[in-house]
């Protein structure tokens, strides 16, 4: 089963996607983690995206499609995957189902949209930034980058809520509460999708 996570930066997509992936035996594919690993490893791709990520902009649809296709073609994705951080634009969404169909994974069956108010998101990222200061701040958690990431999210990614609602695969989930409370809501949506 192909599942997509949507939500603003700092909404908790990575934490919750990892928990759902473990429970349902699906690989979690975090494009943000993959890009950060490429940058850290000094790969050719990492070199291409380092400056883009540091500014808060999105990596091009073509590069992201290449990255996602390579990952979804691996054997552990044969039963589907949970995509965390992809798609982020209408262009990426439009190419996702043809890609997953070509790879024999079927269409996206469920899109989970974590609804978190912007003020809460900024507070969460500020807290994450303070916690990680001693270990070395993520470039994409710097205050000016957070503001840009939120602008880019509202402009390019938020419209995917309507895109997937129109396709009848969207489940909007309240992303405010404890990690366990939010997980309970997401788990209920997953169970319903699996039973359909």
- Tokens representing 30 are 């975090």
Active site residue 124: no
pTM above 0.95, yes or no: no
Q: Catalytic one among 48, 50, 90, 128?
A: 128
pLDDT of res. 134: 54
Which residue(s) pair with 110 in the sheet? 3
pLDDT of res. 128: 61
pLDDT of res. 135: 52
Q: What is the CB neighbour count within 10 angstroms for residue 124?
A: 17
Active site residue 129: no
Judged on CB neighbours under 10 Å (0-12, 13-18, 19+), 166 is exposed
pLDDT of res. 132: 56
pLDDT of res. 32: 83
Whether 163 contacts 93, CB under 8 Å: yes
Listed residue (7, 36, 17) closest to 179, CA to CA: 17
Give first-to-last CA distance, the chain, whole Å: 11
pLDDT of res. 50: 86
Where does the chain have alpha helices with state H? 13-24, 31-41, 44-55, 61-72, 90-102, 118-132, 143-152, 159-166, 179-195
Which residue(s) pair with 180 in the sheet? none
Q: Catalytic one among 50, 138, 142, 165?
A: 138
Strands 170-174 vs 28-30: parallel, antiparallel or unpaired: unpaired
Q: Catalytic one among 19, 36, 88, 171?
A: 88
Residues of the chain with pLDDT under 70: 128-143
Q: What is the CB neighbour count within 10 angstroms for residue 164?
A: 22
What are the chain's domains? 2-195 (3.40.50.300)
Q: Catalytic one among 19, 149, 171, 185?
A: 149
Active site residue 128: yes
Q: d(Cα 42, Cα 151) in Å, to the nearest integer?
A: 28
């Amino acid at each position: 089963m192909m599942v997509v996570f949507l939500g603003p930066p700092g909404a908790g997509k990575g934490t919750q996607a990892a928990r759902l992936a473990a429970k349902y035996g699906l690989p979690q594919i975090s494009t943000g983690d993959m890009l950060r690993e490429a940058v850290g490893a000094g790969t050719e791709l990492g070199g291409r995206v380092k400056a883009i990520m540091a500014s808060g902009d999105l990596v091009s649809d073509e590069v992201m499609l290449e990255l996602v296709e390579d990952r979804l073609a691996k054997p552990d994705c044969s039963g589907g995957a949970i995509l965390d951080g992809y798609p982020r634009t209408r262009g990426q969404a439009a190419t996702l189902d043809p890609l997953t169909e070509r790879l024999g994974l079927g269409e996206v069956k469920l899109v989970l949209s974590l609804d978190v108010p912007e003020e809460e998101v900024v507070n969460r990222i500020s807290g994450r930034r303070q916690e990680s200061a001693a270990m070395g701040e993520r470039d994409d958690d710097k205050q000016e980058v957070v503001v840009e990431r939120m602008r880019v999210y509202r402009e390019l990614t938020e419209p995917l809520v309507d895109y997937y609602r129109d396709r009848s695969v969207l489940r909007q989930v309240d992303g405010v509460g404890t990690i366990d409370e939010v997980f309970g809501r997401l788990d209920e949506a997953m169970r319903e999708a699996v039973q359909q």
